Amino acid sequence: MPILRTAVCILLSTAAASAFAQGDAAAGKLKAYTCTGCHGVTGYKNVYPHYHVPKIGGQNFDYLVAALTEYKNGNRKHPTMGAQASSFSETDIADIAAYLSSLAPAK
């Protein structure tokens, strides 16, 4: 019986960790409001350096998590993104990625 109990606990822990790892899209919607200032405006360009801001709605979940984590850790350089991501927890990143990846890709 203890082996079965241990197996059930491991299975439930793994399922909970997997669900947590994918984030909460509803929570992410609230946390991603600042993202739309740049990424949600059609035709928006940064002043310096001069380039189009990528559209992130509908982007792959794993890519968004990796990119935000790299900005947070300082391994991916962009002053605005670094400042934004520096305040995000792992949960925030997963939630934001869950929300953004749930959107239809921008055309």
Choose the CATH number for 23-102 among 1.10.10.60, 3.40.109.10, 1.10.760.10, 3.30.1360.120: 1.10.760.10
What gap in Å lies between CA 70 and CA 42, rounded to an integer? 25
Cβ atoms of 26 and 77 closer than 8 Å? no
What was the pLDDT predicted at 14?
45
Comparison of pLDDT for 36 and 19, the residue scoring more: 36
The structural domains of the chain, with segments of one domain joined by +, span 23-102
Q: Which 8-state DSSP code applies to residue 105?
A: P
What gap in Å lies between CA 79 and CA 96, rounded to an integer? 19
pLDDT, tens digit, 9 for 90 and up, residues 28-60: 999 999 898 888 877 777 676 677 788 899 999
Q: Is the pTM of this model over 0.85?
A: no
What was the pLDDT predicted at 63?
96
What was the pLDDT predicted at 11?
44
